[in-house]
Amino acid sequence: MGNFITKQLIEQHFHGAYGVDFNKATVNDVLDLAQKIKKEGVGGIFPTLVTDTVENTQKQIKVIKEAAKKQKEGAKILGVHLEGIFLNPEKKGIHNPMHFLEPTVENFKKIADDFIRIVTLAPELCKAYMQGENLITFLNKKGIKVQAGHCLGADLKGCDGVTHMFNAMSGINHRAKSTALSALINDDIYTEVIGDGIHVNDDALKLLFKSKPEDKIILVSDSLPCTHSNLSSIIFADEKIYFDGKRAASAQGVLAGSTSLLPDIVKTLGKKGLFNPKFIDNPYKYHKIDLDGKLEWDKDFNITSIS
């Protein structure tokens, strides 16, 4: 692949970097991170909150929203991705299940804010509460993207996408339905994927890229606060996470998010012949947004110019 030009990257699953954790950040922390990530070629971000107490979730949504109001430069803060609280304990990953709530409309209203743009939840736990409406249909009416993640359910009705495909969901089984299988065969479902070479092996990536329409694949980093920092350990989701320079995991070996930024992931996929420049356009379509700015890349998938 030769030199090419794309739009700037949009990061919709992003817990932090440079030592900044969105679950703990101040307004200035968020603004500083947005400036730094812009220099990496990322034009827009959806700061992502991991499972936390209702009180701290409310607080950090307000912090991120305030940062967006004050922002004059840097990667545009596009809204909050709420990954935590409404997940299945059987697929909790690194999340703390002590803070989980049943995914109901009543519980969502405890943390509801008009700056929430994406909610990851376990669809199999969403029960109808009034005239057949459940949290999924409630969020659909609000225009909030619903993504199945940290879940076991195969029924993705009402879901716009799935969160970090293959990770923390029921996998492919030729004798049973599953989240991953449903996402693969449904051409209307968007699929986030962490292409860092650690979270999903190359054969699974090839299966995804062959099975899904190219306009339904969204590259994400799911990056942790230790990404692009000198930190060897962090407290994340109430758990001590150790970073060995390549992967970040708990003392028990539970893999946390990635330690790559989105441009790093593009380079990783590009070197393997798995990158499609059209993937960069997909978050723009998914969220129906348009941002100014272009990236120029060289044949080795390095960004040579940001404009």
Assign 127 a pLDDT band (cuts: 50, 70, 90): confident
Which residue would you say has higher pLDDT here, 105 or 133?
Answer: 105
**pLDDT at position 63:** 98
**pLDDT at position 129:** 64
Q: What is the mean pLDDT of residues 226-242?
A: 96
Residue 209: phi, psi to the nearest 5? -70, -25
Alpha-carbon Rg for the chain in angstroms: 18
**pLDDT at position 2:** 75
Assign 130 a pLDDT band (cuts: 50, 70, 90): low
User: Is pTM beyond 0.85 here?
Assistant: yes
**pLDDT at position 131:** 64
**pLDDT at position 272:** 97
Residue 47 has pLDDT above 70, yes or no: yes
Query: pLDDT for 84-95, tens place per residue?
Result: 899 999 999 999
C-alpha–C-alpha distance, residues 265 and 247, integer Å: 14
Secondary structure class of 62 (helix, strand, coil) = helix
Question: In percent, how much of the chain has pLDDT > 70?
Answer: 99
**CA-closest candidate to residue 42, choices 259, 221, 217, 225:** 221
Which two structure tokens, joined as six digits, stand for 179?
A: 């989240």
Please check whether residue 31 is in contact with residue 74, taking contact to mean a CB–CB distance below 8 angstroms: yes
285, containing H or E segment: helix 282-287
CATH architecture classification, 4-306: Alpha-Beta Barrel (3.20)
Q: What is the mean pLDDT of residues 146-155?
A: 97
